[in-house]
């Protein structure tokens, strides 16, 4: 992941962690989804977000999220490595894993700012 993009990815993860710790779980999840969109082209970062999503599933006791994250965790990094990712997909079990989604305006602006 380019250093210029990594700062935004890390900020989303930091925001996730903060919101998670204070119990704002919906907001925490939103930050994980945003980190997923930012990092999905990069195998390590992509897999790491799915790892966090798996543990989030345990936290909220969502069988659907836990089961949905296991294949994403196993395959997501590989798909990133070979360049076969659904752009904009937010990574949760509530979204089909191969479905592209619109990218939020501010995230599109980040991609433009860092030259991607």
Domain ranges within the chain, ordered by starting residue: 3-111
Q: Residue 55: what pLDDT?
A: 96
pTM to 2 decimal places? 0.94
Q: Residue 72: what pLDDT?
A: 93
DSSP for 19-74 reads HHHTT-HHHHHHHHHHHHHHHTTSHHHHHHHHHHHHHHHHHTT-HHHHHHHHHHHH
Where does the pLDDT of residue 81 fall: very low under 50, low under 70, confident under 90, or very high at 90 and above? confident
Using only C-alpha atoms, what is the Rg of the chain? 13
pLDDT digits (tens, 9 = 90+) for 39-74: 999 999 999 999 999 999 999 999 999 999 999 998
């Amino acid at each position: 992941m380019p250093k210029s993009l990594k700062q935004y990815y890390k900020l989303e993860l930091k925001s996730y962690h903060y919101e998670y710790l204070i119990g704002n779980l919906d907001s925490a999840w939103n930050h994980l989804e945003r980190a997923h969109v930012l990092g999905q082209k990069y195998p390590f970062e992509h897999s790491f977000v799915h790892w966090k999503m798996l543990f989030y599933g345990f936290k909220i006791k969502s069988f659907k999220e836990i089961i949905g994250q296991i294949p994403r965790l196993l395959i997501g990094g590989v798909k990133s490595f070979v360049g076969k990712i659904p752009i904009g997909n937010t990574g949760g079990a509530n979204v089909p894993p191969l479905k592209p989604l619109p990218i939020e305006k501010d995230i599109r602006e980040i991609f433009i700012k860092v030259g991607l």
